[in-house]
Amino acid sequence: MEKKLLLFGIIMFSCVVLMAQNDGLDSLLLQVKDIDIYNPHTGDFLDVNPNIYAVKAYEYYNTSDFETAAQYYLKFLQFNNSNANAIYNLACCYGLLGKDSLATSYLIRAYYAGFTDIAHIMEDPDFDGVRDALTFISLLDSLEKVQKKAEELRGTKIFIPANELHACRIKIPLNYDPEQSYPLIIGLHGWGDNADNFINVEQKFPEMNVIFVSPEAPYEFGPGTDIGYSWIQGYDDPNIFDQSVTLSEEYILNVIEFMKGNYTIDDVYLMGFSQGCWMTYYIGIRNYELFHGLLCFGGELPADMLGEDTLIHAKDLPVFIVHGENDRVIPVVMGENALSILQDRDYRCEILIFDGTHEIPEQGLKEGFLWLGLIH
């Protein structure tokens, strides 16, 4: 009973706040009388998977069809109107369409839903077409002031290293035999993803007997319930950035050690997507003696951070790069640059540029595994 009263109190408080913010809420509430509670089909909307709309929105965004992307984001938000990232992405669509008032309106909504990364908004090229509009300039100025005041009230954020247990997902062959040795593939997900989702990449694998591990990145972020994970912390602080990368590297080395201690492993391969691709380059090249090959999807090679000596020492490490020709998140030139840098240092390196966007295509997995010798 106490829990019910607490929940009711939270709902009532939320309604008071909403009514204070929206004078038109009463007219929306009147629509409730039109709901037929005895019609067995009234609740059919519960059978709809709204994530389908979010996926389609992202697909159209990547093909530069921003009007259709906006339509799908609006449909998705009818089912999940508190998803700050989706509201922000909708604002991006309007920014790319040059609609400054709509971009501003949805940015405000995204901020109040929990998207408070002002630095990201300031640098996001999706708003370049509306950045000079007075409404947009005024909004950014207001948000900066609000955020600065909020930071002052919260005090200074610091980061302290701490030992934790991190979640990993693992898939082993159905016919696993402990007397037989198996290749190990470690897959590093992209920024904002998680282990539960990325382990499903294994469903695109060609038929082969391998052990696949999807570690979850250690740094949680995101507004509300829209939680994602990152391999790196402190993009605005070089010391925190470097320290977080080192700790993530140690984490993946621990994964390898654990797997070798509990399963019969022979060759080890590292693959990654997007931010996970960045980490794959970094960890794989720095620890080249542990790996028999890297499979790199849609990411950037951190050549400056690795340094010339480290790059040269790892030149015997095979690297297969896969990048979408229409990738809007990390342009294909990043994959081409990685190929050039590695080939200039005598790496055995290959690139597959496919007709697609920021994704892991089944074709790329098959050709990558074939090139690395995992399938014949």
Q: pLDDT grade, residue 24 (50/70/90)?
A: low
> Each residue of 183-242: pLDDT tens digit?
999 999 999 999 999 999 999 999 999 999 999 999 998 766 678 999 999 877 899 999
Q: Does residue 163 form part of some domain? A: no
Q: Does residue 100 form part of some domain? A: yes
CATH number, domain of 281, equals: 3.40.50.1820
Record the pTM: 0.83
% of the chain residues with pLDDT over 70? 91
Q: What is the mean pLDDT of residues 336-340?
A: 98
User: 141 and 179: one domain?
Assistant: no
Q: Does residue 202 form part of some domain? A: yes
Q: pLDDT grade, residue 146 (50/70/90)?
A: confident
CATH number, domain of 134, equals: 1.25.40.10
Tokens at residue 5, please? 């009263």
Angle between helices 134-154 and 100-113 (to 10 degrees): 10
Q: Give the span between the Cα atoms of 102 and 94, in whole angstroms.
A: 6
* Dihedrals phi, psi of 350, to nearest 5 degrees: -140, 150
Q: Does residue 5 form part of some domain? A: no
Q: Does residue 80 form part of some domain? A: yes
Q: Does residue 160 form part of some domain? A: no
Total count of domains within the chain = 2
What is the residue range of 317's domain? 168-372
% of the chain residues with pLDDT over 90? 73
